[in-house]
């Protein structure tokens, strides 16, 4: 009990409480006028973030579950939003996220655009894209990024930096020699959403929340309490 009371008045806790939150300036938005398809609203919000010159507006947090049922999370970039509303991402098959998606495709994706006081959270199932899509995505990457994939061993223990440098140099030489070389372990995924929630914050905490839930043929839309 003593340690708990101490933690409730720790210097770090007081410092964190003093940091302001929801400091962004939200554009005008009325949830009642939102489109029937959440894809349209997401693309509008993403475009707003791009037009506002926010850093890395396509950065997303991907949450997965490992074989023990424990959650895992990391930041990656969104590749596209398909015409039918799927969210495209990519990774190596042997990475933690690649292995976890293959074992359990249930996942979540979230975006946060702080300067616009906006966030989007998505829940759904990841589907493996065709090999041709994975290959095209790989070839669109920077040569250095392709070399990283070809060298392999993502997320494995780095025991020898000299060996790492040698493998990367060999992989980069292979990329330069054959610009059409594709790493077979590179996999593209499309997250098919079952729910999408849009959140727009306000300094007075009168936040706006709009949730879309997928039905058999369309989307149900409902506002949520802040």
Q: What is the CATH number of the domain that holds 122?
A: 2.30.110.10
Q: Does pLDDT of 144 surpass 70?
A: yes
Q: Is residue 87 part of a domain?
A: yes
In a domain, 147, yes or no: no
Q: How do the residues of the chain divide into helix, strand and coil, expressed in percent and rounded to 5?
A: 35, 30, 35
In a domain, 172, yes or no: no
pLDDT at 53 over 80: yes
The reply to whether 169 falls in a domain is no
Mean pLDDT of the residues in the chain: 94
pLDDT at 28 exceeding the cut of 80: yes
Does some domain include residue 55? yes
Q: Is 183 exposed, middle or buried (0-12, 13-18, 19+ CB in 10 A)?
A: buried
pLDDT score, position 11: 93
* Contact partners, residue 207, CB within 8 Å, separation at least 6: 22, 199, 200, 201, 226
pLDDT level of residue 45 (50, 70, 90 thresholds): very high
SS3 state of residue 160: coil
What pLDDT, on a 0 to 100 scale, did the predictor assign at position 5?
Answer: 55
Instruction: Report how far residue 47's alpha carbon sits from residue 58's, in angstroms, rounded to the nearest whole number.
Output: 10
For 60-70, the pLDDT digits (tens) are 999 999 999 99
* pLDDT for res 156: 72
- What is the residue whose two structure tokens read 């990475």? 95
Q: Over 80: is that where the pLDDT of 208 sits?
A: yes
Contact partners, residue 224, CB within 8 Å, separation at least 6: 197, 209, 210, 211
CB-based contact 90:189 (threshold 8 Å):
yes
The two three-digit tokens of residue 22, written as one number: 């929801």
Q: With 80 as the cut, is the pLDDT of residue 52 above it?
A: yes
pLDDT tens column, 73-122: 999 999 999 999 999 999 999 999 999 999 999 999 999 999 999 999 99
pTM, two decimals, is 0.91
Separation CA 65–CA 79 (nearest Å): 22
Residue 1, pLDDT score: 46
Q: What is the pLDDT of residues 155-188, one digit of tens each?
A: 677 777 888 899 999 999 999 999 999 999 999 9
Query: Which positions ≥6 away from 4 have C-beta within 8 Å?
Result: none
Percent above pLDDT 70 for the chain = 96
Residue 153 maps to a domain: no
Q: Domains in the chain: how many in total?
A: 1
Range of the domain at 203: 20-140+184-224
């Amino acid at each position: 009990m003593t340690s708990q009371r101490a933690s409730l008045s720790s210097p770090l806790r007081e410092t964190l409480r003093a940091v302001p939150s929801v400091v962004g300036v939200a554009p005008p938005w009325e949830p009642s006028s939102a489109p029937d398809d959440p894809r349209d609203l997401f693309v509008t919000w993403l475009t707003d973030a791009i037009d506002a010159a926010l850093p890395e507006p396509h950065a997303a947090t991907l949450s997965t579950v490992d074989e023990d049922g424990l959650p895992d999370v990391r930041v990656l970039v969104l590749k596209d939003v398909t015409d039918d509303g799927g969210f495209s991402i990519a990774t190596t098959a042997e990475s933690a996220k690649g292995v976890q998606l293959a074992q359990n495709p249930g996942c979540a994706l979230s975006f946060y655009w702080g300067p616009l006081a906006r966030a989007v959270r998505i829940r759904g199932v990841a589907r493996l894209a065709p090999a041709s899509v994975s290959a095209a995505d790989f070839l669109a990457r920077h040569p250095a990024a392709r070399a990283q994939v070809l060298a392999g061993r993502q997320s494995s223990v780095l025991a020898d930096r000299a060996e790492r440098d040698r493998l990367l140099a060999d992989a980069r030489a292979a990329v330069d020699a054959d610009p059409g070389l594709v790493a077979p372990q590179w996999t593209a995924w499309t997250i098919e959403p079952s729910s999408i929630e849009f959140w727009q914050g306000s300094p007075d905490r009168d936040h706006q929340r709009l949730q879309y839930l997928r039905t058999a043929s369309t989307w149900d839309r409902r506002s949520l309490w802040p």
